[in-house]
């Protein structure tokens, strides 16, 4: 599928929101358009991911955001291992651990650790039917914002690797190539100097159309603040037309 350029997203959004990119306000206009498109991109992807487990069409649209078999950085602690999430993680899809036992030379097993709730963690780590056990292929795990905690406690289990599949965060578009009068560069709202275009990273025309639909509505809300536009946006969200 051909790549969707940042320039095309901006032109399509401008057309749908009846905004022309021209005149002395060009610099500000492009930055605002880019911001609206990136906000819309987040909205569309977030709604798609919520439905991806039950809809194969949506799941296929998100393939380029899916990272497979990623090995987390492991740090051994007293009674547990900490596995650090990658910086670009949006949502973990699944996980699997490769473990050995210090009392069983040459024996390796693949175990899927069971996630327990924080308020149940203490009891689970003491319960002989739930805590880490190499023979019974049991491991318990707790999730934090920055990674996973795999509890081995007093068992013989040693975690050699913990791998996950996950959806990564999106790459925001940029379009300084539209700013001929500003030396083809601008500073974004984080004060970063942007000198190179970044195109739509899903290479998906279907989703790009949805993104520009929502971006145009966001611009209308910001510039016109009409009740009709707000109602239209709410309706669009409610009927899942942005998936």
CATH code: domain of residue 145? 2.40.30
On whether both 194 and 223 belong to a single domain, the answer is yes
Residue 138 belongs to some domain of the structure: yes
On whether both 54 and 87 belong to a single domain, the answer is no
Other CB atoms within 10 A of residue 162 CB? 26
β-pairing, 114-115 with 140-144?
A: parallel
What letter does residue 171 receive in the DSSP assignment? P
CA 71, chain centre distance (Å): 17
On whether both 118 and 208 belong to a single domain, the answer is no
Two structure tokens written together for 190 = 């984080």
Helices (H), the chain: 6-16, 26-51, 56-61, 118-126, 205-224, 227-238
Two structure tokens written together for 74 = 């492991």
pLDDT for res 104:
87
DSSP, collapsed to helix, strand or coil, labels residue 137 as coil
On whether both 53 and 80 belong to a single domain, the answer is no
pLDDT for res 239:
43
Residue 243 belongs to some domain of the structure: no
What is the percent of the chain with per-residue pLDDT over 70, rounded to a whole number?
Answer: 85
Residue 179 belongs to some domain of the structure: yes
Average pLDDT of span 57-85: 94
On whether both 119 and 179 belong to a single domain, the answer is no
Measure the CA–CA gap between 40 and 87, rounded to whole angstroms: 22
Question: Integer distance in angstroms from the first to the last C-alpha of the chain?
Answer: 19
User: In this predicted model, what pLDDT tens digit does every residue of 184-236 receive, in sequence order?
Assistant: 888 888 889 999 999 999 877 788 999 998 888 888 776 665 566 566 666 56
On whether both 88 and 155 belong to a single domain, the answer is yes
- The total domain count for the chain is 2
The answer to whether residue 243 scores a pLDDT higher than 60 is no
On whether both 219 and 234 belong to a single domain, the answer is yes
DSSP, collapsed to helix, strand or coil, labels residue 44 as helix
User: In this predicted model, what pLDDT tens digit does every residue of 53-64 receive, in sequence order?
Assistant: 899 988 988 999
pLDDT for res 27:
41
On whether both 161 and 119 belong to a single domain, the answer is yes
Q: Which residue, 168, 183, 200, sits at the end of a domain?
A: 168
Q: Which residue, 152, 168, 184, sits at the end of a domain?
A: 168
On whether both 83 and 144 belong to a single domain, the answer is yes
Residue 41's contacts (CB-CB under 8 Å, 6 or more residues apart) are 170, 172, 173, 200, 211, 215
| 81: phi then psi, degrees, rounded to nearest 5 | -120, 140
Q: How confident is the model at residue 16 (pLDDT cuts 50, 70, 90)?
A: confident
DSSP, collapsed to helix, strand or coil, labels residue 82 as strand
Q: Which candidate, 189, 221, 223, 207, places its Cα nearest to that of 43?
A: 207
Domain that holds residue 108: 66-168
What is the average pLDDT score of the chain? 86
Lowest-confidence segment of 28-32, 85-89, 183-187, 208-212 by average pLDDT? 28-32
* Burial of 180 per CB tally in 10 Å (0-12, 13-18, 19+): exposed
- The whole model's pTM is what? 0.85
On whether both 55 and 147 belong to a single domain, the answer is no
pLDDT for res 158:
94
User: In this predicted model, what pLDDT tens digit does every residue of 129-156 receive, in sequence order?
Assistant: 899 999 999 999 999 999 999 999 988 9
Two structure tokens written together for 55 = 């809809």
Measure the CA–CA gap between 134 and 131, rounded to whole angstroms: 10
The answer to whether 21 and 1 are in contact (CB under 8 A) is no
CA 7, chain centre distance (Å): 23
């Amino acid at each position: 599928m051909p790549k969707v350029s940042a320039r095309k997203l901006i032109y399509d959004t401008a057309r749908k929101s009846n905004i022309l990119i021209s005149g002395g306000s060009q610099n500000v206009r492009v930055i605002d358009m880019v911001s609206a498109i990136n906000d819309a991109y987040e909205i569309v992807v977030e709604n798609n991911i919520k439905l991806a487990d039950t809809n194969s069409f949506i799941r296929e649209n998100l393939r380029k955001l899916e990272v497979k078999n990623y090995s987390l950085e492991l740090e051994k602690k007293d009674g547990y291992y900490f596995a650090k999430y990658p910086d670009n993680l949006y949502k973990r899809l699944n996980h699997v651990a490769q473990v050995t036992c210090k009392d069983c030379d040459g024996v390796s097993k693949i175990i899927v650790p069971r996630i327990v709730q924080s308020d149940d963690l203490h009891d689970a780590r003491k319960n002989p039917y739930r805590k880490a056990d190499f023979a019974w292929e049991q491991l318990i795990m707790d999730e934090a914002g920055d990674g996973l905690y795999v509890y081995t406690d007093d068992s013989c289990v040693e975690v050699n690797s913990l791998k996950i599949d996950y959806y990564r965060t999106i790459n925001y578009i940029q379009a300084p190539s539209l700013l001929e009068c500003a030396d083809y560069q601008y500073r974004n709202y984080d004060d970063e100097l942007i000198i190179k275009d970044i195109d739509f990273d899903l290479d998906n025309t279907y989703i790009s159309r949805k993104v520009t639909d929502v971006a145009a509505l966001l611009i209308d809300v910001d510039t016109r603040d009409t009740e009709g536009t707000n109602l239209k946006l709410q309706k669009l969200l409610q009927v899942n037309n942005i998936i």
